[in-house]
Amino acid sequence: MTEHPGGLSISLSLAQHVVVRADVAAPGHPVAGRDYPRTLMEFDEWFASEDACSAYLQRLRWPAGFVCPGCGATSAWRTGRGLLRCSGCQRQTSIVAGTVLEGTRKPLRTWFQAAWYVTNQKLGVSALGLQRVLGLGSYQTAWTWLHKLRRAMVRPGRDRLRGLVEADETYVGGVERGVDGRQTHDKSIVIIAVEVLPSGGFGRVRLATVPRATRSHLVGFICDVVEPGSTVRTDGLAAYKGLESQGYRHVQRVLLGRRAPAHVAMPGVHRVASLLKRWLLGTHQGSVTAKHLPYYLDEFAFRFNRRSSRARGLLFYRLLQQAVEVEPAPYRTLVSTRPQPTHKP
C-alpha cells in the first residue's frame, strides 16, 4: 500500500498483472522480462495467484485473442469458476481443455512451479525429486506430471534438420550375452540424427526408437526429420542405400576395417549416443522401460537442442507454449500396456 497526497490508500498488488500483459505472446523472439520471467524472484512475482497463471496460459493458447471453439467468436468473459463464456454461443471453455493439462485437479501455480523446476535443472529431474521439491502427496502424481510434460517437449510441426546430418543407430538397455554386432534380444534400437555445423560443432538432434534396423524404418525416419536436399552421412549399413532415391545426397563411411575408430569417423552421433546413455544412467538410474523410452528421448532432444541457452526462463516459456498445443494425455494412456509410439515407416 502507498499513501496518496490526498489521504487515499492505493494498492500496488496489481503490479504482477502489468508484466504479464497482452503482448506476452507477441510475434518474434520472446523477450526476457516481458514474455517470460528471468529469475525465480520474477517467477514468484508474476505467478503469485491462480488468476495470473490462468491469464498467462490464456495468452499462450490464444496469442491473437480468444477464439471460441464452437462458433469462432472472438469475445468472451470469465465466469466465477474461471471458465471463458463465449459472448456469441454462450459456450463455456476451460483454458486447459484440449491441452496436456486437461483434467488436472491441482492448482495451475503448482504446475507452473513444476515446469520451472524441470526446465531449470540442466540435467533433468526424477519423479522422486519432483515429488520432494513440490511436496506432492504421491510418487504417482510426480511420475504422471513428468510424463505429461515430456509430451509437450516436442513442438507440433517442428522444422526438419538440414545441411550436413549424421545418422546412426545405437542400442539402449542392459548387457546382453551371446549376441554380436547389431543383434539384440532385449535392447531398444534408437536411431539418431544430428546436424554437423560448418564450424565442426553440432546443431539440433532428433531421436526415435525403431523396432528393427531395416531400410523402411531407418530411411523412413530420416525422411521424417531431415530436409530433402541435405547431405546425410551414415556408416556402411546397406539399409541406408535408399536415401539418394529420396532426394538426399548420401555419404557412406564404411567403418569395418578402418584404422580410425567409429567415434572419430562419425563423431556427432557417437557423442550424442554417449550423452544419452550417461543421462539415462545418471538422472534416471537406468530405470527407463522400452515402453516409455520414446518420451525420454523427446526430453533429451528438448534439452540438447537448448543446451546453449542462457535464459532458462525461455525453456519454461517454450514448454508451456507447447503444452497448450499438445493433446491431453490421461493417466490411463500413460500406464497403458500397449506399446508406445515408435517411428513407423
Q: What tens digit of pLDDT does each residue of 165-185 get?
A: 999 999 987 655 555 555 566
| Chain centre to alpha carbon of residue 324 | 12
**Starting from the edge strand earliest in sequence, which strands make up the sheet with 202-210, in order?**
202-210, 188-196, 164-172, 231-235, 249-253
Q: 149, 100 in Cβ contact below 8 A?
A: yes
What integer pLDDT is reported at residue 218 of this predicted model?
A: 94
Q: What is the rounded average pLDDT for all residues in the chain?
A: 84
| Chain centre to alpha carbon of residue 240 | 28
At 283, the pLDDT band (50, 70, 90 cuts) reads confident
C-alpha to C-alpha distance for 35 and 19, rounded to whole angstroms: 8
C-alpha cell at 100: 496436456
The H helix count followed by the E strand count for the chain is 12, 10
What is the mean predicted confidence (pLDDT) over 117-145? 93
* All domains in the chain, ordered by first residue: 15-64+96-151 (no CATH), 164-290 (3.30.420.10)
Q: 343, 209 in Cβ contact below 8 A?
A: yes
Q: 208, 221 in Cβ contact below 8 A?
A: yes
Residues facing 36 on adjacent strands:
32
Q: What SS3 state is found at 265?
A: helix
Q: 146, 130 in Cβ contact below 8 A?
A: yes
At 13, the pLDDT band (50, 70, 90 cuts) reads very low
What integer pLDDT is reported at residue 169 of this predicted model?
A: 93
